[in-house]
């Protein structure tokens, strides 16, 4: 089982040991994902191969597989549904990159910058539709409704984010709502599907759902922090991108709350200019660090990580419970 070595008061997770628990199934998920991208339209396969070549953490399929194993299920249905959630996630990334006018994804050109917005939005639609077609093949109304609901909430989250773009009045609660819709709800659905496949009692399914929600919130909070602190080459995409796009995340919200008018003026200038002409990236990061905003955001992410671990108390000890308990440490320690 993975071990956590204390460094600087925080664990560094041996993620490889966790992934090894489900690596055979993940390999089948990858093969199924690739197979389902085949189409009579050659461009679909071409872009699909490009997306696959970009890699990815595959954390959502891994969560579904680990949740299934925790609940005593191991079989083909988990593999297919793990591929479904990766299709949903990938479709979301494609549409996000169009909206954000992104040019880089995972260290190389984004699909929209290479093939254009028209083709990319249609490919995203193809992936969404493919995911629902695959889910329908399982003939499980509860899982289908869950996936449909979470997909709708993800789209609503994107709409809310666009509606609030450039708004300095976005609150911590507003941003948390967007985090849940755009990221954490799908994490939660992955774990709940594991519980449904394992036919666990309702209270255990709900506990898994809470674990996934708290883990997903933690994941996105760390992602927001990395936008302020990461090395661009390691992160694989531009840093300090959220403010430039007019998005207020928790580090910026906490910065304005803690540093007052000086911070508000600088954040406002970056958002108005859609760039760092009048105010440098380094100045924003320094203010966030010196004001304690980054520490506050990190502390909140740690609270959600701790809540996720507590949600697993309903389950007996096993290597799969230990793996899920260790995942929050990996998320808190990640650099990309």
Q: Concatenated DSSP letters for 259-272? A: HHHHHHHHHHHHHH
Q: What is the DSSP letter of 164?
A: T
With CA atoms as reference, report the closest residue to 279 among 296, 259, 297.
259
Please report, for the domain that includes residue 221, its CATH number: 1.10.600.10
The helix-helix angle for 42-53 and 117-136 (nearest 10°) equals 90
The confidence score (pLDDT) of residue 241 equals 84
Tokens of 220: 């996105």
User: What residue numbers bound the domain in which 89 lies?
Assistant: 14-333
The confidence score (pLDDT) of residue 232 equals 66
For residue 59, being part of any structural domain is answered with yes
For residue 4, being part of any structural domain is answered with no
8 A C-beta contact, residue 328 and residue 308: yes
Positions in the chain whose pLDDT score sits under 70: 1-13, 232-239, 336
For residue 43, being part of any structural domain is answered with yes
For residue 7, being part of any structural domain is answered with no
pLDDT in tens, 184-195: 999 999 999 999
67-96 as b/e: b if 16+ CB within 10 A: bbbbbebeeebbbbbbbbbbbbbbbbbbbb
For residue 63, being part of any structural domain is answered with yes
For residue 1, being part of any structural domain is answered with no
Query: Total structural domains in the chain?
Result: 1
pLDDT in tens, 141-165: 999 999 999 999 999 999 999 999 9
The confidence score (pLDDT) of residue 237 equals 59
For residue 321, being part of any structural domain is answered with yes
For residue 118, being part of any structural domain is answered with yes
The pair phi, psi for residue 57, each rounded to 5°, is -75, -25
Q: What is the pTM of this model?
A: 0.90
The confidence score (pLDDT) of residue 17 equals 84
The confidence score (pLDDT) of residue 10 equals 37
């Amino acid at each position: 089982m993975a071990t956590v070595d204390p460094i600087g008061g925080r664990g560094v997770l041996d993620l490889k040991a966790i992934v090894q628990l489900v690596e055979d199934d993940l390999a089948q998920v990858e093969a199924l994902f690739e197979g389902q991208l085949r189409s009579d339209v050659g461009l679909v396969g071409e872009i699909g191969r490009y997306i696959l070549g970009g890699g990815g953490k595959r954390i959502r399929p891994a969560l579904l597989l680990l949740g299934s194993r925790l609940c005593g299920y191991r079989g083909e249905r988990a593999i297919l549904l793990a591929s479904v959630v990766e299709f949903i996630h990938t479709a979301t990334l494609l549409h996000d990159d169009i909206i954000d006018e992104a040019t880089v994804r995972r260290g190389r050109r984004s699909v929209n910058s290479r093939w254009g917005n028209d083709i990319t939005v249609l490919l995203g639609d193809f992936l969404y539709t493919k995911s629902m077609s695959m889910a329908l093949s399982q003939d499980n109304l509860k899982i289908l409704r869950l996936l449909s609901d979470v997909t709708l909430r993800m789209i609503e989250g994107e709409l809310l984010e666009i509606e609030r773009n450039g708004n300095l009045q976005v609150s911590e609660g507003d941003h948390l709502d967007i985090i849940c819709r755009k990221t954490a709800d799908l994490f939660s659905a992955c774990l709940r599907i594991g519980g449904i496949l394992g036919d666990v009692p309702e209270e255990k399914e709900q506990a898994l759902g809470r674990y996934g929600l708290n883990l997903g919130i933690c994941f996105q909070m760390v992602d927001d922090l990395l936008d302020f602190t990461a090395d661009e080459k390691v992160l694989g995409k531009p840093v300090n991108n959220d403010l430039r796009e007019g998005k207020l995340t928790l580090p910026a919200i906490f910065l304005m709350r803690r540093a007052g008018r000086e911070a508000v003026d600088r954040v406002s200038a970056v958002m108005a200019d859609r760039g760092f002409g009048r105010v440098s990236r380094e100045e924003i990061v320094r203010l966030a660090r010196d004001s304690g905003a980054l520490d506050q955001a990190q502390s909140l992410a740690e609270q959600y990580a701790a809540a996720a671990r507590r949600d697993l108390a309903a389950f007996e000890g096993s290597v799969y419970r230990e793996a899920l308990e260790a995942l929050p440490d990996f998320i808190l320690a990640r650099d990309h």
